[in-house]
Amino acid sequence: MIGQVLGHCRVQAKIGEGGMGVVYRAYDEALQRDVAVKVVKKDARLGSSGSQDLLHEARASSSLSHPNICTIHDVGETEGELYIVMELVEGKSLHEMCRDAGLPPETVIRCGVQIAGALVRAHDRGIIHRDLKTSNIVVTPDGLVKVLDFGLAKQVGDRDASFEGPTRTFETMQTSSTFSGTLAYMSPEVLRGEATDYRSDLWALGVVLYEAASGRPPFGGRTGFELSSAIMREIPKPLGPPVPPGLWAIIQRCLSKEPAQRYQRAGEVLAALEAIQGAAVFATTPNSDRAEPPTMAHHSVRHARVRRGDFLLLIGTTKGAFILRSNVNRSRWEVGGPYFHGHAVYALAYDNRADQHRIWASTASFWGTMLRSSDDFGRIWTNPQEAAIRFPADTGLSLKNIWQISLGRAGEPSTLYCGVEPAALFESHDDGETWSLVRGLFDHPHRPRWVPGNGGLALHTIVLDPADKQRMYVAISAGGVYRTNDSGRTWSAQNCGIRAMFVPGKYPEFGQCVHKIAMHPARPERLFLQNHWGLYRSDDSSENWKDIANGVPSDFGFAMTMHPQNPDCVYIVPVESDQFRCSCDGRLRVYRTRNSGASWEPLARGLPQKQAYETVLRDAMTADSLDPAGFYFGTRSGQLFGSCDEGKTWNKILEGLPAIVCVRSAFIEDGFGHSIATPRVAPQPPPSSRSKSRAASPSRRHSRQKKR
């Protein structure tokens, strides 16, 4: 089996064996991540219908998404074998942790809360575990509990197809000692062959908690018969100090022989455990090892199942983020999310440098603004204890929002930039681990005279010159365009020829409310600019700007996107005026120039042309890197539109989202470093490095996982 490929997973090493099959560590070559693969011999204990049942159950369980449930990624069948691909969880089983003397009560309660939380989620989805035991529960070094083997659970609901207790129980008792562990967790009703439900899992939870607290199971016996008899008739030996009476009471109630006497719902056990947990009193000089794991998984969120060759849209809204998956046809979409419920996500970026698939997201809420990332398309996100982007003490400022996340140039695979509010630029040269304020811009004498636009005082656009590694442009509302030619040490205002309608002198040195700037990497000396009133082009690296609003219904607008292949081609979505920031005449139209602004043409086929008072915000439009190029934009009313033919025709992809503030695209390369469509330049964010250092990448990935 070692070296064999199942699906897209290459089997690497055996890591365990259980009653159902053998578990291997494997590497998912498509998504480039470590996984565990459980291989079940079809003839081991399953007939052909049993195989189908198992596949069905594993598929059902793969819908479970919870931080305390080991995620099932995929199931499949090869000759003679079924396999289940799941999250690789590294840690110790609860069985190993407690087998000598039991664990401290606080640890038992902490684990119990997480196990009960996992059961709440599964039971809510109609899935019972059926095989909950301490050896199926793994605790990671961070203290995160993962319940394994929901692949053996079964959908409840159809009474005829409900729990196969009698048959399977009898088989397992007869045929395999590996199931004797399982027997110890079976409830009296399972042993009696009666219909069972969620409450059998609550019994098993009672056994798990008893064992975790004392190091021994509540019932014993030298044979399966004695053990079954004890489970059905005996009262477990009471647990005294250090087990607190509250915990013992919860365990006792879980271990009521009659299901009706137990808790009726996992949520009740969870609440009871939380209540005694909340009652714990901490000394004001605490232990130092109580830190929570700095990651978050999303509860009750549907995830897009991303495979190689897929195409993604990353959507940021004022109330969370979404990840949409399609293939290169870009016609049918699977929606993942919402991620970060209630948080505004103004910036997203896909980072595939150094063989990774990382999504960056900024999240802003009452509780502050964070830069986060996910290496598995949204299942797990970093959740830093402390924000890495923060203003130094001497500035007296506090971060309000992150408006832009930009990747470094080719050859700068560890570099990232963030444009933030209040207007400032931050940079990182270590994959986003640490960030520093770009002082050259922050200390610019103009800064005290920048004024907030409607959206706040934000540095919202970063454009790197791909040819000149010391040159970079930023756009600030309302400060204007600034350029550095020396890697950020000094900056100059670059607004010559750009109007500012809201000051008496219409052409000030700075203070313009620029909404977006765009550059095609093939012509780095030329920039396009959408202003708060005004469309401009510069042919001399922003020294001078020329009005190019030739034939647009309004030169007011926000979004501006380059065609990925044609440096003369730019897309905008005009709005009527600063007073009425909606599409002109109630007709939603994208405008395109193919001659660098000498003329513009409307692109409206497929877009609403009656009573469509829409606004497309500055980062809510993007292009993809495919050929012919696709374009996508979202509206403040939560509609998402896309075109696969360079804007000739548009389709509504989704509606009903919260206000869309950011749209980005990502193409998941087909295999290793080879894109099935030639990766061209994505104009926003700036072109990511395609340089690969495969030898270096695994260690990067692993070191990051450890840090989490």
Partner 1 sequence: MPLTFHIPGPLREFTSGRSAVTIEPSPATLAEALSALWKLFPGLRGRILTEQGQVREHVNIFIGDEDVRYTGGLTSHISAGSEVSIVPAISGG
Which active-site residues does the annotation give?
131
Write the DSSP assignment of 433-501 as a string of letters: SS-EE-HHHHT-TTGGG---BTTBSEEEEEEE-SS-TT-EEEEEETBEEEEESSTTSS-EE--TT---T
- The pairs formed by 640-643 with CB atoms below 8 angstroms and a separation of 24 or more are 640/313, 640/315, 640/324, 641/606, 641/607, 642/313, 642/330, 643/603, 643/606
Least distance (Å) from partner 1 to the CB of residue 113? 5
- According to CB under 8 A, which residues from 317 to 356 bind partner 1? 318
Q: Does residue number 283 form part of the binding site for partner 1 (CB under 8 A)?
A: yes
Q: Does residue number 386 form part of the binding site for partner 1 (CB under 8 A)?
A: yes
User: Per CB under 8 A, which region of 31-39, 43-51, 289-297, 503-511 contacts partner 1?
Assistant: 289-297
Q: Is 446 exposed, middle or buried (0-12, 13-18, 19+ CB in 10 A)?
A: middle
Q: Read off the tokens for 606.
A: 């497929």
Around 574, how many Cα atoms within 13 Å sit in the side-chain half-sphere?
A: 26
Least distance (Å) from partner 1 to the CB of residue 290? 6
75, 83 Cβ separation under 8 angstroms: yes
- According to CB under 8 A, which residues from 484 to 543 bind partner 1? none
Around 352, how many Cα atoms within 13 Å sit in the side-chain half-sphere?
A: 22
User: Per CB under 8 A, which region of 283-291, 306-314, 331-339, 695-703 contacts partner 1?
Assistant: 283-291
531 vs 546: CA distance, rounded Å: 12
251 vs 102: CA distance, rounded Å: 14
User: Per CB under 8 A, which region of 198-206, 261-269, 271-279, 523-531 contacts partner 1?
Assistant: 271-279
Q: Does residue number 288 form part of the binding site for partner 1 (CB under 8 A)?
A: yes
DSSP character at residue 29: T
Q: Does residue number 33 form part of the binding site for partner 1 (CB under 8 A)?
A: no
654, 333 Cβ separation under 8 angstroms: yes
Among 3, 278, 445, 656, binds partner 1 (CB under 8 A): 278
Q: Which residue has the tokens 């397992």?
A: 172
Least distance (Å) from partner 1 to the CB of residue 636? 12
Among 48, 367, 579, 610, binds partner 1 (CB under 8 A): 367
Q: Does residue number 656 form part of the binding site for partner 1 (CB under 8 A)?
A: no
Report how many residues bind partner 1 under the rule CB under 8 A: 36
684 vs 389: CA distance, rounded Å: 22
- According to CB under 8 A, which residues from 294 to 313 bind partner 1? 294, 296
Q: Among 655, 576, 572, 581, which residue's Cα sits nearest to residue 620?
A: 572
Least distance (Å) from partner 1 to the CB of residue 287? 9
Among 282, 504, 505, 699, binds partner 1 (CB under 8 A): 282
Query: Which residues neighbour 66 within 8 Å (Cβ) at sequence distance 6 or greater?
Result: 117, 118, 121, 122, 297, 299
∠ CA(189), CA(191), CA(196), 5° rounding?
Answer: 35
86, 35 Cβ separation under 8 angstroms: yes
Q: Does residue number 260 form part of the binding site for partner 1 (CB under 8 A)?
A: no
Among 4, 12, 356, 383, binds partner 1 (CB under 8 A): 383
Least distance (Å) from partner 1 to the CB of residue 418? 15
Site string for partner 1, 81-120 (x = CB under 8 A): -----------------------------x--x---x---
Give the max Cα distance, the chain.
Answer: 94
CA 301 to centroid of chain Cα atoms: 10
- According to CB under 8 A, which residues from 397 to 416 bind partner 1? 397-399
Of 348 and 370, CB closest to partner 1: 370
Of 76 and 143, CB closest to partner 1: 143
Among 4, 51, 155, 277, binds partner 1 (CB under 8 A): 277
Q: Does residue number 291 form part of the binding site for partner 1 (CB under 8 A)?
A: yes
Q: Does residue number 284 form part of the binding site for partner 1 (CB under 8 A)?
A: yes
57, 152 Cβ separation under 8 angstroms: yes
Of 505 and 656, CB closest to partner 1: 656
Of 18 and 105, CB closest to partner 1: 105
Query: Which residues neighbour 200 within 8 Å (Cβ) at sequence distance 6 or greater?
Result: 128, 130, 163, 186, 187, 189, 190, 259
Among 15, 307, 333, 391, binds partner 1 (CB under 8 A): 391
Of 232 and 296, CB closest to partner 1: 296
Chain residues binding partner 1 by CB under 8 A are: 110, 113, 117, 274, 277-284, 286, 288, 290-292, 294, 296, 318, 365-368, 383-387, 390-391, 393, 396-399
